[in-house]
Amino acid sequence: MAPGVSGELLHSLEVETESRLLLTSDGLLEASDPNGRLFGLERLTAAYTTLLERQGPLEDLLDAVRYHRGRNSLEDDVLILELTL
């Protein structure tokens, strides 16, 4: 086990072949529109589901965040990482 990591932080997950795992930073979820509404988990789930149905590129997810925030600048970093297992 790595120094500073307790066993309580480690979890296992059973997945099927070709499953996808989407990892994002909190900056994506906290991106706000001009009215202060966060992008949030519900919008993320809807945008990612649409992306998968269309078999679109992952960049479409970032475009959805850009569209949501309008002219607002990002206040935090945004990380999007997709792993196909």
State which amino acid sits at residue 57.
P
Burial class (CB in 10 A: 0-12, 13-18, 19+), 83: exposed
Domain residue limits, the chain: 17-84
pLDDT of 78 reads 87
DSSP per-residue codes, 3-47: TT--GGG-------TT-EEEEE-HHHHT-B-TTS-B-HHHHHHHH
pLDDT of residue 4: 60
Per-residue pLDDT of the chain (85 residues; tens, 9 = 90+): 556 656 566 778 888 998 999 999 999 999 999 999 999 999 999 999 999 999 999 999 999 999 999 887 777 888 999 998 8
